[in-house]
Structure 1
Amino acid sequence: MSERHDRAVVTVAGVAVDTRHWIDGRRVASSATFPDASPMDGAPLAEIARGGAAEASAAVTAARAAFPGWAATGREERARILHAIADGVDKRTEELAAVETADNGALLRSHRRGVMPRVAHNFRFFADWLLTLGHEDFETRGHSNHVSWDPAGVCALITPWNAPLMLATWKVAPALAAGNTVVLKPAEWSPLTASLLADIAAEAGLPAGVLNVLQGYGEEAGAALVSDPRVARISFTGSVPTARHIAGAAAANLVPVSLELGGKSPLLVFADADLDLAVELAVEQYDNAGQVCLAGTRLLVESSVAEEFTRRFVEKAATLRQGDPRDEATGIGPNIHPDHVARIDGFVQRALACGARAVIGGGPNTELGGFYYLPTLLTDVAPDAEIVTEEVFGPVLTLQTFDTEEEALTLANGTRFGLAATLLTGDQERADRVTRQLVAGTVWVNCFFVRDLQAPFGGSRQSGIGREGGTWSFDFYCDVKNTVTAPKGFAHHG
């Protein structure tokens, strides 16, 4: 899978990747490294620079030094450079897709056709939004009010392993567009494409120090980064326990945070829904081997159609081919890491021990090895069972039934999460009633995963804090200022 060039550079899927940090426009090594392996087969990919407090401090120092110059750069020039980064992503789509598939195991065809184009779009969208960002001036008793968005400073961005480059650039692009400088800390299980992004940004003309990439473990590099008092903003996508540590560090320095923390989203199917569509969207929840924060993992189906829904679901799920994510015919690939597979299986085995029934799946795919978990559907689960209240983050769905709209809402809102919800019904009035009562940051009605960057994105309850997207991103990454000017009082000179 990988081949050593020297101590710093490896070849992954035919692409040269530097394994060092990117700090102040140059590559920086660490005295220690950590291993990175492919979830496709467990083969070693690289030894990655293992950053700690010293490297985190150096990255923040570089970002802080670069901030005045980048903040003073005009909107048009910042937008031009972001478009140039997007052009670089487009030129390297095949390389980025191949490396990310090797590194995190997601389907190669998805990376080629959807994920990497979205990476480029992230930069283009926020570059263009920057040029239109504004608020109409207004008057107060004859005084004029002018709203502006001032860059905040150094942004610490900590990103997950399930969609590494797309979710990193969802944060990096608006932070840079706003005039901030960035220290990006990618997840240690999928660090490679962040390194390639640093190369692309440098080639696009982004000044040294504006984007820094800090590799390492969360408890070492990440902890040092978020506790640095020079950091002005922290954005994190990941687990609730990690978010608690980050929020504590941020609180000590009164630093604003944006937290996107996964979920346990419901997918509600009423008897008047299009069952073919409902089944199609339900099986789609196995996308990326279930490693999608927005996935509707709790199937809530009206009792009168539950048997028919289940029959069609089993037939549809049986057409999913599990295997090598580089194969065009593969529908579901591996999970990220053996430790994560063991975690997934722990949830399932505890559920089975408590009386749940596996309609399909129920364990690892022993034919494919330790990284592959069978698409699983569990029934006969209690409303308060661990399997329906805790995020599994794997190809594991549960099916519960309901008889009334009120019961459906009680089940749907019955967890500590509130990231997303999917509703299938043929009744517009019901759709309106139910969506008003669902606790979720995003609700899809008779569709799934339709995402627009101008829409607000974030979670309710323990699915997160804050919203990003469109102007909401600039509200977070900036200090929003209102300037009030009196109608008279300026001295005339000259």
Structure 2
Amino acid sequence: MPLDEQLPTHTEVEGVRIDVRHWIGGRRVAGASTFADISPIDETEIAQVHAGTATEVDAAVAAAREAFPAWAAMPVAERSAILRRVAEGVEARVEELARVETRDNGSLLRSHRRGVMPRVAMNFRFFADYAEQLAHPDMEVRGHRERISYDPAGVVAIITPWNAPLMLATWRIGPALAAGNTVVLKPPEWAPLTASLLADIMAEAGVPDGVFNVVQGTGTEAGAPLSAHPGINRLSFTGSVPTAGRVAAAAAPNIVPLSFELGGKSPLVVFEDCDLDLAVNLTVEQFDNAGQVCLGAFRVLVADSIAAEFTERVLEKAKQVVQGDPRDEATDISALVSRVHFDRVRGFVERAIEGGARPILGGGPNEELGGLFFRPTILVDAKPGSEILTEEVFGPVLTIQTFSDEEEAVAMANDTRFGLAATLVTGDPDRAERVSARLNAGTVWVNCFFVRDLGAPFGGNGRSGIGREGGIWSFDFYTDVKNTVFAPAGWTVAGSEEGSDG
């Protein structure tokens, strides 16, 4: 019996019919087995998704390589027009995408409707527009003209996480396709369903067969052979530091350029001259998405002169955070994504308490809701250098520490192997300039949080990643930047008697 008849081909989630097979070369392809997709809301199975292996990865890379020459040669205006149709397709299905992703990864439905899915559409539209304007002025040296161009690199492998699967995937897919590359996407096994819906949208928008491919599966069975595949030309990975190490090792023999967005242990530095209402609001905002946000500022550092009042007000506001079903408009935070991750977060908190940290809010599972709901937690008195202060928890867990002066605040903020982001709250413009310049982070927010234009660079220092994406930085990565040097008109000999570089 054909595989398509042996295994389920579709599932229905929140009234949306979804094909659970791979998308390779412009058609649905069955796998030899499936894996269970479990909703974190109630830990029920919502799909049996076809599991990819090296076989499907080989097929997807081959399809992408076959499609690459025509897509790369297509005039940029035509490529961009297709990607704008993809954006329109996303916008037409925002409600469906929002409902499916909420059920799949447990994030708030209201956030998906109002922010996340519209941003998915923006990822395509922004980079489509940017590609049409992409240019570098000619340079001149000793009468020679140097032309800088951006050539498509080839096949781009994109491996994405579960905390914002569609938004984070399209943040890479958009510029990769706009630059003229073809793509093989490996979505997260804990939240794979919206990637399949995106494949449908791509096809409806007229994306040629093989330009966009989706291979579902685990990191071991699908991610590893994709990372190691000799047919890929770029690799973008978002996830944990340990997994990044394995991905880099797999890609290294093929000398594949990498872009990594990894973990964080970001500080939120609150000075005594701050707007205290703002500082409190920014602190409690870190519980967004149940703390499953790489950019979250979970190490709260506050001036000791205002620490008591600040902490009291943070507690008062945090107690108003509503935890529950993410499909309810009244809910502020929902469940953690899986049982494995829930146990990991709980282990961090339990070890911190055993080591002397004191919970002043939460500290464990939400017994009233059960399942994968972990209470918003605030810990104080953690010992310097302890695990809870140095390792990424990726859950709704904040620590509060105090500092005595600006020098100590900067030292504490930078006392981390990570360097993804930092948030600074101060009422002194000079201090804002002075301290932000000294913070070791790819992004620093001053008196704000989570604000960034798609044209700005994004990435982390240290163990938070490799490279930058956004605007021109995306095209620097997803293209081969070429310099073509033209001799002055009328020259008939190669080179220059005046000397050359090289």
TM-score, normalising length: structure 2: 0.96
Equivalent position amino acid for 1:384 in 2:
G
Q: Distance in 1 between matches of 2:452 and 2:167?
A: 13
Q: Distance in 2 between matches of 1:304 and 1:129?
A: 48
- Residue in 2 that maps onto 1:423: 424
Instruction: Specify every segment of 5 or more residues in structure 1 that has no aligned partner in the other structure, as ranges.
Output: 1-5
Question: Matched residue of 1:101: which SS?
Answer: helix
1:122 and 1:173 in contact (8 A); partners too? yes
1:158 and 1:187 in contact (8 A); partners too? yes
1:375 and 1:395 in contact (8 A); partners too? yes
Deviation at 1:369, TM superposition (A): 1.4
1:263 and 1:417 in contact (8 A); partners too? yes
- Residue in 2 that maps onto 1:3: none
Q: Distance in 2 between matches of 1:479 and 1:464?
A: 21
Instruction: Specify every segment of 5 or more residues in structure 2 that has no aligned partner in the other structure, as ranges.
Output: 1-6, 493-502
1:8 aligns with 2:9: yes
- Residue in 1 that maps onto 2:121: 120
Deviation at 1:490, TM superposition (A): 6.9
Q: 1:269-328 CA deviation, whole Å, 9 max, x = no partner? A: 000000100000000000000000000000000000000000100111111110010000
- Residue in 2 that maps onto 1:172: 173
Deviation at 1:427, TM superposition (A): 0.9
Deviation at 1:443, TM superposition (A): 0.1
Alignment of 1:38-187 (within 5 A): 38-187=39-188
Q: Distance in 2 between matches of 1:262 and 1:384?
A: 18
Alignment of 1:450-489 (within 5 A): 450-489=451-490
1:22 and 1:195 in contact (8 A); partners too? yes
- Residue in 2 that maps onto 1:250: 251
Question: Matched residue of 2:329: which SS?
Answer: coil
Q: Distance in 2 between matches of 1:72 and 1:366?
A: 58
Alignment of 1:304-453 (within 5 A): 304-453=305-454
Q: Distance in 2 between matches of 1:54 and 1:260?
A: 27
Q: Distance in 2 between matches of 1:64 and 1:383?
A: 51
Equivalent position amino acid for 1:422 in 2:
T
Equivalent position amino acid for 1:447 in 2:
C
Question: Matched residue of 1:176: which SS?
Answer: helix
Equivalent position amino acid for 1:218 in 2:
G
Q: Distance in 1 between matches of 2:193 and 2:367?
A: 28
Q: Distance in 1 between matches of 2:22 and 2:369?
A: 34
- Residue in 2 that maps onto 1:234: 235
1:155 and 1:175 in contact (8 A); partners too? yes
- Residue in 1 that maps onto 2:226: 225
Q: Distance in 2 between matches of 1:453 and 1:109?
A: 22
Q: Distance in 1 between matches of 2:276 and 2:346?
A: 30
Q: 1:47-92 CA deviation, whole Å, 9 max, x = no partner? A: 0111111111100000000000100011000100000000000000
1:341 and 1:370 in contact (8 A); partners too? no
Question: Matched residue of 2:302: which SS?
Answer: strand
Equivalent position amino acid for 1:187 in 2:
P
Equivalent position amino acid for 1:412 in 2:
A
1:66 and 1:208 in contact (8 A); partners too? yes
- Residue in 2 that maps onto 1:302: 303
Question: Matched residue of 2:305: which SS?
Answer: helix
Equivalent position amino acid for 1:125 in 2:
F
Alignment of 1:247-286 (within 5 A): 247-286=248-287
2:267 and 2:300 in contact (8 A); partners too? yes
2:356 and 2:383 in contact (8 A); partners too? no
Q: Distance in 1 between matches of 2:45 and 2:251?
A: 35
Q: 1:249-285 CA deviation, whole Å, 9 max, x = no partner? A: 2211111000000200000000000010000000000
RMSD: 1.0
Q: 1:391-447 CA deviation, whole Å, 9 max, x = no partner? A: 000000000000011111111011100000000001111111111111000000000
Question: Matched residue of 1:272: which SS?
Answer: coil
1:153 and 1:232 in contact (8 A); partners too? yes
Equivalent position amino acid for 1:96 in 2:
L
Equivalent position amino acid for 2:241 in 1:
V
1:155 and 1:232 in contact (8 A); partners too? yes
Q: Distance in 1 between matches of 2:383 and 2:146?
A: 56
Question: Matched residue of 1:304: which SS?
Answer: coil
1:26 aligns with 2:1: no
Equivalent position amino acid for 1:61 in 2:
A
Q: Distance in 2 between matches of 1:461 and 1:334?
A: 30
Q: Distance in 2 between matches of 1:124 and 1:365?
A: 41
Question: Matched residue of 2:194: which SS?
Answer: helix
Q: Distance in 1 between matches of 2:475 and 2:491?
A: 32
Q: Distance in 1 between matches of 2:247 and 2:91?
A: 34
Q: Distance in 1 between matches of 2:69 and 2:139?
A: 30
Equivalent position amino acid for 1:172 in 2:
I
Q: Distance in 2 between matches of 1:238 and 1:202?
A: 28
1:383 and 1:411 in contact (8 A); partners too? no
Which range is displaced more, 242-251 or 229-238?
A: 242-251
Equivalent position amino acid for 1:312 in 2:
R
Deviation at 1:370, TM superposition (A): 2.1
Equivalent position amino acid for 2:142 in 1:
R
